[in-house]
Amino acid sequence: MTYTKLLAGLAGSAFAFSVSATELVIATVNNGHMIEMQKLTPFFEKANPDIKLKWVTLEEGTLRQRVTTDIATKGGQFDVMTIGLYEAP
């Protein structure tokens, strides 16, 4: 999946949460691929002026723990989460 396709998916996610959503909070791991994807934020926001992206970048173990807790408690802290192949199944 290309970064452009992933960011396009984020735009669709905004409407899944609320038509009036103006900020998407994205939890992601602190690795080169995700850092590179974050660099595309200005292009995404220019193409989608009503949507702002807020990245929460964490080390893998910390991200896993926070996302797991957020899902279990239905905290709603994150709108979008990136996961690795290990977590996908």
What CATH number does the domain containing 67 carry?
3.40.190.10
Q: How far apart are CA 12 and CA 48, in angstroms?
A: 11
What pLDDT was estimated at residue 32?
A: 87
Q: How far apart are CA 73 and CA 60, in angstroms?
A: 20
Residues 45-62 have a mean pLDDT of: 93
Q: How far apart are CA 42 and CA 67, in angstroms?
A: 25
Mean pLDDT of the chain: 82
Place 21 in a pLDDT band, splitting at 50, 70 and 90: low
Q: Is residue 26 part of a domain?
A: yes
Q: Is residue 88 part of a domain?
A: no
Q: Is residue 31 part of a domain?
A: yes
Q: Is residue 89 part of a domain?
A: no
How many structural domains is the chain composed of? 1
Q: Is residue 55 part of a domain?
A: yes
Q: How far apart are CA 87 and CA 8, in angstroms?
A: 22
What pLDDT was estimated at residue 45?
A: 95
Supply the range of the domain harboring residue 56: 3-81
